[in-house]
Amino acid sequence: MKISIGNDHAGPDYKKAIVEMLQAKGHEVTNYGTDSAESVDYPDFGRPVATDVSEGKADFGIIICGSGNGISMTANKQSKVRAALCWMKEIAVLARQHNDANIISIPARFTSIPQAVEMVEAFLNTEFEGGRHQNRVDKISC
């Protein structure tokens, strides 16, 4: 699987742990995130992930900022992107099952690194249910 990841200054440690897990599972990862805790602007790191997903260069995206909100707002401006803010595994599963989310947004200041890794694993391993949910997803587009 091809996965793009991006993070601001709140997420370097989260990104590192997630990328290690993804690579250990054989996924190809494109890293747009910062490796520094020095303040940066989250749109600069979320937009390239959303572009990769929108253009089909990545199967899924992972974005990380302090609250997860700003970076997901940025990502959701791209067509074909459905970025879901997830703070627990169950939300990540539902985002895939019901919303066909293709980007997971992680709030680094409100989740632990082990939680984040668990959410990403659940997100990537969950299929979209389609059915009644497909009609709703079809109404989301820009």
What is the distance between the alpha carbons of residues 19 and 11, in angstroms, rounded to a whole number?
A: 12
Of 9, 27, 65, 142, the active-site residue reads 65
> Has 65 been annotated as catalytic?
yes
> Has 27 been annotated as catalytic?
no
Buried-state track 57-73, b at ≥16 Cβ within 10 A, e below 16? ebebbbbbbbbbebbbb
Of 27, 98, 133, 142, the active-site residue reads 98
C-beta separation of 97 from 91 below 8 A: no
Dihedral sign for Cα 100, 5, 73, 50, please.
negative
Catalytic residue IDs? 65, 98
